[in-house]
Amino acid sequence: MDETVAEYIRRTVLKIPRCQIMEMLTMWEFLSKTQLQTINVHQLKERISQAVVELCEVITSIVNDQIVSNSHNFVFTISGIFSCITGEETDSFNLADFKYKFKRSLRSALKNVTINFREYEDNAIWIRIAWGTQYTKPNQYKATYVVYHSQTPYVFISSLRSSIPLLCQALVHASNYHDIHEMELRSRCIDSLKDIVFKRYSQTFQTYHPRPLQERNVAPEKVDPRIIQENKREKERIQSVNQEIFGEGLQPKIEFAQYKLETMFKGEPEMDILTEKEPFRCVVKFSSPHLLEALKSLAPAGMADAPLSPLLTCIPQKARNYFKIKERKGILSASCLGP
C-alpha cells in the first residue's frame, strides 16, 4: 500500500477522539467485523492507529471519501449559484454526467488533484478535493470539502482557499448554471447553514394584531407570596416580542456575526478632527458558541431592551452574518448593504 495513504490513515485515526473510534471504523466500512474485533480500543492511540493501518494493508483499495463523516471540524461557507438555469439544463439531474464534467474541468486546469465523490440519501453530494501544484502531489491533509444538493442552487464549501476560482468554475461548468457568487454566511455547523438557506428553521410572520400569550404547560413556580413582581406586564411584553422576532423553535447554530462599519463618526463638535472628513472604519464582531440563542435570551435576561436591533435579528432571514454598513444618504442611520 502506498506510504502516503498509510500515513494518512494513521493520522486520521489519531485525530478521532477515543470514544468515537469504534463508531468511526464501523462507519468506514472497509474493515470487516472480525477485523474490527481484533482492535483493542483501550491501548495507546498510536498502537490503535498502527493496528488499523496493518489491517488496511490487506485491502487494496482504500476509498478516501469515507472520511467525510468527520466533518464537524470544518468551517463551512456557502456559495450560492446565482441566477437562472440556461437552456441546456435537463430536468433530471444526471449524477454521472456531473461527476465527469467536474473532474474533467478541474483536471484540465490542474493535473495534481485528488477528487472523490460520495452520495448521501438527502440528495447531497460530497466532493473531497485535495490540491497539489504542478510539481507536488496533492496535499491530503488540507482537503477542501464541497457539499452540493443537486436540487438546489446552493453549494457549501469548507475552508476557502486560493484555488476557489478554479473550483467555482468547475462547479458552474459541471452543473450547467450561469454563474456563481459567494454568500456572506459562514458557520461551523453545516446543518445550520442548510437550515437557514433552505428555510427549515421556524420562521415568524409579522402580526398586526397582538394576541395574548398562549397558555403553556409550565408547572406553577413556587413563589413566595412576600415577593411581589411589579413589572409582570412588561415581562410578558418582552416575551411576546421575543417570540415574534425569533419564533418558537431552536435557532440555527452560528458562531460569529461581523459588522464592518463605514459610517461617519458622530462625536462632540469640538473633536473636529474626526467628523465630516472620512468614514470611521471599525469592525464589530460578535462571537458565541451559539449566537442566535444568545441573542434570543438577551432581552429576557435584562441585558438589552426588546425589540433588539434589526441588524442582529435579520441574520437568519437575510442568510448572512458578515455585513458592511454604510451611511444612508440624508438620514443619519446605518443601513445594510451588499458586499
Q: How far is the CB of 306 from another protein (least distance, A)?
A: 11
Q: How far is the CB of 210 from another protein (least distance, A)?
A: 18
The contacts of residue 282 (CB under 8 Å, 6+ apart) are: 261
Nearer to another protein, 271 or 301 (CB): 301
Q: How far is the CB of 308 from another protein (least distance, A)?
A: 12
Nearer to another protein, 96 or 219 (CB): 219
Q: How far is the CB of 235 from another protein (least distance, A)?
A: 8
Which residue type sits at 246?
F
> Using CA atoms, how far apart are residues 206 and 68, in angstroms rounded to an integer?
40
Nearer to another protein, 54 or 234 (CB): 234
Nearer to another protein, 97 or 234 (CB): 234
Region of 199 on the Ramachandran plot (φ > 0 left; ψ -120 to 50 alpha; else beta): left
Note the residues at the interface with another protein (CB under 8 A): 224, 226-231, 233-235, 301-305
Nearer to another protein, 234 or 278 (CB): 234
Q: How far is the CB of 239 from another protein (least distance, A)?
A: 12
Q: What is the DSSP string of 238-303?
A: HHHHHHHHH-SSPPP---EEEEEEEE-----TT-TTTTTSS-EEEEEEEE-TTHHHHHHTTTTTTS
Among the listed residues 258, 253, 323, the one whose alpha carbon sits nearest the alpha carbon of residue 294: 253
The contacts of residue 58 (CB under 8 Å, 6+ apart) are: none
